[in-house]
Amino acid sequence: MTRTTPTQITGILADQYGLAGALSRLPGENENYLLTTERGMRYVIKLAPDEHTDDVLDLEQVAAETIATSGTGIAVPAVIPTRRGSLETRFERPDGVVFRARVLAYVPGVPWGTAGVPTPQRRARVGRCIARIAYTLGSMTHPSARRTHQWDLTAVASHRSSTALIGEPVRRRLVDEALTLYVATALPRLAGLPRSVIHGDLNDENVLVEGDEISGLLDFGDCLHNPTVCDLAIALTYLTFEEPDPIAAAAEIVGAYHGVRPLSVAEIEVLFPLICGRLANSVLIAAERRRIDPHRAAWFETEPHAWRALERFLAIDPATATAWLMEDTELSPPPSPFAPRTQLLAHRRQRFSDALSLSYHEPLRFVQGRGQFLFDNRGWPHVDFYNNVAHVGHSHPRVVAAGRRQMERLNTNTRYLYDELTEYADRLCATLPPPLECCFFVNSGSEANELALRLARTHTGQHDVLVLDHAYHGHTTTLIDISPYKFMGKGGEGRAKPWVHVVPIPDGYRGAHKGMDRRAGVAYGDEVGRIIRAADRPIAAFIAETLPSVGGQIIPPEGYFETAFRHVRDAGGVCILDEVQVGFGRVGTHFWAFELQQVVPDIVVLGKPIGNGHPIGAVVTTRAIADSFARAGMEFFSTFGGNPVSCAIGMAVLDVIREEGLQRHALELGTYLRDGLRALMTTHRLIGDVRGAGLFIGIELVRDRDTLEPATDEAAAMINALRDRRLLVGTDGPFENVIKIKGPLVVTEDDATMFIAAVDHTLSDLE
Ligand code: PMP
């Protein structure tokens, strides 16, 4: 890079300032020089491209003066005016770039980073000093302080896309982890913390010491209005770099700070994720700069430290780190109410049957959910790409508040009149096409499917049921009888009931009819007609998941349901679609998955996402079917089904889906994810197929793309490896070789980018 020539600087110093002496370059990424005059006076000459506006330079100046005049005894560099009284001078470098030069009085002291191993006294002094700076800068205002820049600790996530520039997988993973922690635990808390003008860069070069005293502060160039605690977080990041035990050292600084400016629990809770965020920011900026000019050594001087610090900090659990940081304050983290994981596991075995399974080789234990994150007891966030029940995000505040409000007011049952029931039924039916207009509310998907079968049987006066191969519809006796996934699976007794007829799953990838076009759809639909004829018994119902999920995240080919429904209705049967997994905007283009195929079922079954975790099941059907059911004479009553609390929650879920634009987000993010995953197929032979609609996605792993030999063990290894990266997905399909993605609709593009990269790395490891 072209630098200003020493002759040019000497010339400016002589002409503008009347100064002369020996010039030497100072370390650091900025172009700074030290001038020592013959009489031994020292000055710092700061050169900067003419890109900062005057207001920002004024902000720096005001901040420095505020400290200088505060009586804290901390020296800051005073600006030496030119002979004509200007605070700076502009000049043109040989390459034509206009630069600004400022001359500052030299501040005595040694930078923290070169002053040797810090003593406890020095740590205590710096803690108190940063707290005093917080008070001092807290007293100033400046119109230019409300700005952002590339080091703004509240805007770290804006660098996330640059993780792609980090080629080394282990390092990229470290950054992903730091960013996820920052996004999940720091960001949501920052908005509520006290704010003020902060220095913005209290690093080991800018904090000067003399012995154990903090003598001065340099470089106010990153000054901005921010959560006050950010200055402490930045200082902890750099001042503990070289410590053998960085968190213990940080705790001493925090304790001393707290003695002067008492911290709240929330401020301490953000420290560790902010430190990790700052380090991620640092290595990401280095990666961005490397693309611009890999030879500019000054840009990369601190990078090795940042990597080492990132490795060391991320080896500590966030909850442990936070408890540690509180150690020298009178504050304490709430005592962990959680028994150790192994103890919990043993306890569970004692109290429950082994039929109750756990996901993953190493089961996970969660203590909190928020948005797309599930937090384990050690404070680590896990990104949930899997649990579709938390449709609008874990513990969505709007949904929680709706439930709490209604719970406080009234909770009763459908034998009384209350507005919430009809209001909710109206809202739900407004999302459905006619003639689906009559609602029944229950408490689970299983109950809803049971009721759907009763409705169909009462309406038709028949008993037989057609079901898709590998289907699952619920855990009751009747539903196990109609679920091949269960009766053909482990512990199943095969098809025990002659009234159950299994039709092929309309799988355009692995099944008898290949492709997603109408030809395949009609061929699969005609199989339904063939089986109806072969059954030689009248049928009551055809039941299917609109997009078979347990069956392997299947998207039926075009025309399938139109054809199948025609055969069923011609035979006098009723068409039931189970949208327990796929409804409520997940498929992106439509609110209901059956709209993808332009059909309308006679009965639709709803569950899982409907209450965002609150147990609700619903059946919506035609007036004719509902009337047949009523005419049969038996009362329908579910104690909890349709209670006002459930209705209030159901309505809040519908509100959030609409107001947060989640259906559209599912479409956009789903497309982004599938495109990214499909792009991996060229490098990873294991991926046989990537399919889906919106945020309902399947990645089918095969050992051979011609024979389609299922890569079952690889799929299991992959979800466990992703789990270790704190990304949650599961497997499904008849061979358990399909990775299924169907998480909360609030996962972000950043999460998706990270997920795609993680799949890439995991597959490379497997191959
Ligand atoms: N239908 C489908 C398609 C399901 O996936 C499930 C649950 N996995 C059910 C019904 C049963 O729902 P629940 O567990 O709420 O009874």
Contact predicate 372/743, CB 8 Å: yes
| 727-728: strand order across its sheet | 366-370, 373-376, 381-384, 727-728
pLDDT given for residue 48 in this prediction: 79
Segment among 73-77, 401-405, 712-716 with least mean pLDDT: 73-77
Q: How far apart are CA 577 and CA 593, in angstroms?
A: 10
**Angle 591-593-594 from CA coordinates, rounded to 5°:** 110
* 699 three-state secondary structure: strand
pLDDT given for residue 98 in this prediction: 83
Q: Which residues lie below 8 Å from residue 720, measured CB to CB, with a gap of 6+?
A: 360, 361, 362
Verify whether ligand 1 is closer than 6 Å to residue 696 (CB atom): no
Verify whether ligand 1 is closer than 6 Å to residue 176 (CB atom): no
Tell me the CA distances in angstroms from 660 to 392, 402, 460, one per residue in order. Answer: 9, 16, 42
**470 CA → ligand 1 middle, Å:** 14
CA torsion angle for 473, 596, 740, 551 (degrees, to 10)? 40
Give me the residues paired with residue 710 across strands.
702
By alpha-carbon position, which residue is closest to atom 5 of ligand 1?
Answer: 581
| 738-741: strand order across its sheet | 687-693, 696-701, 738-741, 730-732
pLDDT given for residue 56 in this prediction: 81
pLDDT given for residue 460 in this prediction: 98
599-617 confidence digits (pLDDT tens): 999 999 999 999 999 999 9
Token pair of 648, please?
Answer: 């209030």
Which has the closest alpha carbon to 198: 55, 106, 67?
A: 67
Q: Which residues lie below 8 Å from residue 521, measured CB to CB, with a gap of 6+?
A: 506, 556, 557, 558, 559, 560, 562, 563
Contact predicate 440/618, CB 8 Å: yes
Look over the chain and give the mean of its residue pLDDT values, rounded to a whole number. 94
By alpha-carbon position, which residue is closest to atom 12 of ligand 1?
Answer: 445
Verify whether ligand 1 is closer than 6 Å to residue 607 (CB atom): yes
Calculate mean pLDDT across residues 462-468.
98
Verify whether ligand 1 is closer than 6 Å to residue 553 (CB atom): no
Q: Which atom of ligand 1 is nearest to the CA of 446?
A: 16
**Angle 572-573-574 from CA coordinates, rounded to 5°:** 130
Token pair of 323, please?
Answer: 């408890």
DSSP tally for the chain: helices H, then strands E: 23, 26
Q: How far apart are CA 645 and CA 616, in angstroms?
A: 10
Verify whether ligand 1 is closer than 6 Å to residue 442 (CB atom): no
303-355 confidence digits (pLDDT tens): 999 999 999 999 999 999 999 999 989 888 776 667 777 888 999 999 999 99
> Of the residues 388, 389, 446, 554, which should be mutated to test ligand 1's pocket, given the most ligand atoms within 8 Å of the CB?
446
Res. 91 pLDDT band, cuts 50 70 90: confident
| Percent share of the chain, pLDDT over 70 | 99
Q: Is-cis flag, bond preceding 435, omega within 30? A: yes
**550 CA → ligand 1 middle, Å:** 10
Q: How far apart are CA 215 and CA 207, in angstroms?
A: 8
Higher model confidence: residue 243 or residue 258?
258
Q: How far apart are CA 89 and CA 9, in angstroms?
A: 11
Higher model confidence: residue 192 or residue 51?
192
Res. 46 pLDDT band, cuts 50 70 90: confident
Contact predicate 93/99, CB 8 Å: yes
> Of the residues 467, 472, 582, 603, which should be mutated to test ligand 1's pocket, given the most ligand atoms within 8 Å of the CB?
472
pLDDT given for residue 681 in this prediction: 98
**11 CA → ligand 1 middle, Å:** 80
Tell me the torsion sign for CA atoms 627, 630, 632, 636: positive
Cβ-count burial 12-21 (b if 16+ within 10 Å, e if not): bbeebbebeb
Contact predicate 730/387, CB 8 Å: no
Q: Which atom of ligand 1 is nearest to the CA of 475?
A: 16
Give me the residues paired with residue 691 across strands.
698
By alpha-carbon position, which residue is closest to atom 1 of ligand 1?
Answer: 473
Q: How far apart are CA 579 and CA 449, in angstroms?
A: 10
- Please give the single-letter amino acid code of residue 725: R
Token pair of 257, please?
Answer: 């700070």
Res. 2 pLDDT band, cuts 50 70 90: low
Strands (E), 89-175: 89-92, 98-105, 110-111
> Of the residues 581, 586, 740, which should be mutated to test ligand 1's pocket, given the most ligand atoms within 8 Å of the CB?
581
Angular region, 692: left φ>0, alpha ψ -120 to 50, beta rest:
left
Please give the full DSSP string across 161-219, using - where no structure is assigned. GGGGG---HHHHHHHHHHHHHIIIIIHHHHTTS-EEEE-S---TTTEEEETTEEEEE--
Segment among 4-8, 159-163, 518-522 with least mean pLDDT: 4-8
Q: How far apart are CA 599 and CA 561, in angstroms?
A: 7
Residue 645 has pLDDT above 90, yes or no: yes
Verify whether ligand 1 is closer than 6 Å to residue 387 (CB atom): no
Which has the closest alpha carbon to 541: 479, 610, 631?
A: 479
Q: How far apart are CA 184 and CA 727, in angstroms?
A: 13
pLDDT given for residue 622 in this prediction: 98
200-236 confidence digits (pLDDT tens): 999 999 999 999 999 999 989 899 999 999 999 999 9
Q: How far apart are CA 619 and CA 543, in angstroms?
A: 13
pLDDT given for residue 70 in this prediction: 87
Q: Count of residues for the chain?
A: 767
Verify whether ligand 1 is closer than 6 Å to residue 546 (CB atom): no
> Of the residues 389, 476, 577, 580, which should be mutated to test ligand 1's pocket, given the most ligand atoms within 8 Å of the CB?
580
Verify whether ligand 1 is closer than 6 Å to residue 445 (CB atom): yes
Verify whether ligand 1 is closer than 6 Å to residue 474 (CB atom): yes
Q: How far apart are CA 269 and CA 263, in angstroms?
A: 10
Verify whether ligand 1 is closer than 6 Å to residue 444 (CB atom): yes
Verify whether ligand 1 is closer than 6 Å to residue 581 (CB atom): yes
Contact predicate 755/172, CB 8 Å: no
Verify whether ligand 1 is closer than 6 Å to residue 472 (CB atom): yes
Res. 559 pLDDT band, cuts 50 70 90: very high
Res. 292 pLDDT band, cuts 50 70 90: very high
Q: Which atom of ligand 1 is nearest to the CA of 444?
A: 15
Calculate mean pLDDT across residues 675-700.
98
Residue 714 has pLDDT above 70, yes or no: yes
* 14 three-state secondary structure: helix
Calculate mean pLDDT across residues 513-528.
97
**446 CA → ligand 1 middle, Å:** 6
Q: How far apart are CA 707 and CA 709, in angstroms?
A: 5
Which has the closest alpha carbon to 563: 532, 529, 592?
A: 529
Return phi, psi of residue 585, to 5°.
90, -5
Q: Which atom of ligand 1 is nearest to the CA of 615?
A: 15
**715 CA → ligand 1 middle, Å:** 23
Verify whether ligand 1 is closer than 6 Å to residue 732 (CB atom): no
**Angle 382-386-389 from CA coordinates, rounded to 5°:** 105
Res. 53 pLDDT band, cuts 50 70 90: low
Q: Is-cis flag, bond preceding 615, omega within 30? A: no
Q: What is the value of pTM for the model shown?
A: 0.90
Calculate mean pLDDT across residues 653-678.
98
pLDDT given for residue 52 in this prediction: 64
Residue 720 has pLDDT above 90, yes or no: yes
Tell me the CA distances in angstroms from 536 to 482, 529, 532, one per residue in order. Answer: 18, 11, 7
> Of the residues 386, 451, 453, 473, which should be mutated to test ligand 1's pocket, given the most ligand atoms within 8 Å of the CB?
473
**642 CA → ligand 1 middle, Å:** 18
**447 CA → ligand 1 middle, Å:** 9
Residue 1 has pLDDT above 60, yes or no: no
> Of the residues 608, 614, 638, 646, which should be mutated to test ligand 1's pocket, given the most ligand atoms within 8 Å of the CB?
608
CA torsion angle for 655, 659, 660, 662 (degrees, to 10)? 70
Tell me the CA distances in angstroms from 475 to 523, 596, 640, one per residue in order. Answer: 31, 28, 19
Contact predicate 554/519, CB 8 Å: no
- Please give the single-letter amino acid code of residue 760: D
